[in-house]
Amino acid sequence: MGLESFLEQFQRGKKLVVLTAYDVQMAGLLELSGVVDAILVGDSLGMVFQGKNSTREVTVEQMAYHTAAVRRGAAKSFIITDMPFGSDLDPTEALANAQVLLEAGADAVKIEGRKLSVIRTLVGQQIPVMGHLGLLPQTAESFTVQGKNPQEAQNMRQDALALQEAGAFSMVLECIPTPLGTAISHSVDIPTIGIGAGPDTSGQVLVINDLLGLGQGKYARFVRQYTNLGQTIMDLVQNWAQDIARQDYPSPSEQYN
């Protein structure tokens, strides 16, 4: 599984499935599931893994560390790693930073916003680049739906075409009205991967922690929760604590003689 098979699935009309992972075990499970077309090592790890208020403090070294862990768990998967805030502003620096992420195990990098000369430089060096439009967490002032007014929507449609023209192999569309997600998806020839962009994008991406219900806050509207793993984890911890309290743990079969 790599870029070729990602694009092949798109050409066949399969809805692409992308999920984030930040560690070896989750990456291994996503690969074993057999249904994930790409694993995204998202800089969302700054929030869901490191507990920061934004993704802005995440460094290239941290992204490389998590990418290496994900690669150890998912040797065959197509892995895309986010270029963190500030690492992709200048083409020469972006190239050096992208190379660090590729050496750590990424197959491709993702870049937020309209950074056309950076995308051109990386693609020119055979580094596959995924774009990202709509809500851009690295620079967003508020986490609200983007592209609601006609001028913003028009600008985003032009940005999408410009990313394609610069050589991006795909793009994430985050938190935009469904008609805009549909219009952009129909106007470009590369796969669009939506997160809160409606049903007509070429595929969908979610942060794995949200899908699993690991968070304690309010989830965005587009997060469908199949389980509340957070509650399950708390229940299991309480069960174990009870077993310890009533001296039921460790049992004879859980001890060394």
Q: By the criterion CB under 6 A, which residues form the site for ligand KIV? A: 20, 40, 42-44, 82, 172, 174, 195, 205, 207
**Shortest approach of ligand KIV to residue 251 CB, angstroms?**
42
Give the CA dihedral 210, 15, 136, 155, nearest 10 degrees: -150
Tell me the residue number closest to ligand KIV, measured at CB.
42
Phi (first) and psi of residue 139, to 5 degrees: -125, 0
CB atoms within 10 A of CB 148: 11
Neighbouring residues of 9: CB distance < 8 A, sequence distance ≥ 6 = 16, 37
Spot the catalytic one: 112, 152, 174, 254. Answer: 174
**Shortest approach of ligand KIV to residue 205 CB, angstroms?**
5
Query: By C-alpha distance, which of 60, 46, 34, 21 is closest to 205?
Result: 21
CA atoms within 13 A on the CB side of 225: 17
Residue number, 208 or 256, with CB nearest to ligand KIV: 208
Residue number, 37 or 43, with CB nearest to ligand KIV: 43
Residue number, 10 or 85, with CB nearest to ligand KIV: 85
Indicate if 174 belongs to the active site.
Answer: yes
Q: Which residues are catalytic?
A: 174
